[in-house]
Amino acid sequence: MYKPGQTVKFRALAMNPDLTVRNDTMDIFVRDANGNGLKQWTNVSGYGNTGVVEKSFPLAKEPVFGDWTIAVTIKGTKESKSFSVQKYVLPKFETTLDVTEHPLD
């Protein structure tokens, strides 16, 4: 879960079904809970021959709350994952203290 103003960090790993690294370029799109496209990277290559792309972006101070989606497309194959953006609410708790009559005895 992310809160307003935080930085979203993610990695995309491109692999073939036989678990070998895929070195094709990828397109990455970020959509908010309303489906609005907010960020994109196109024709991104993995670092070296690893197939790994690492990206980040800051959330606004007043973002759309809900489930956001990061979608990655490689040569027509699309995969996506969601993450939650929520308002920070202080947790509520209660403390009960039992005091003895002679605490130092």
How many whole angstroms separate alpha carbon 100 and alpha carbon 105?
10
56 beta partners? 9
Given a cut of 80, whether residue 13 has pLDDT beyond it is yes
Is the separation of the CB atoms in 40 and 29 below 8 Å? yes
What does the pLDDT average to over 14-29? 89
Over residues 50-105, the pLDDT tens digits come to: 889 999 999 999 999 999 999 999 988 899 999 999 998 888 888 888 777 766 66
- Give the separation between CA 43 and CA 59, rounded to whole angstroms: 23
Predicted local distance difference test score (pLDDT) of residue 78: 93
Q: pLDDT class for 20, splitting at 50, 70, 90?
A: confident
Residue 105's pLDDT is 60
pTM of the model as a whole: 0.78
What pairs with residue 54 in β-bridges?
11
The answer to whether the CB of 25 falls within 8 A of the CB of 43 is yes
Output 91 or 40, whichever has higher pLDDT: 40
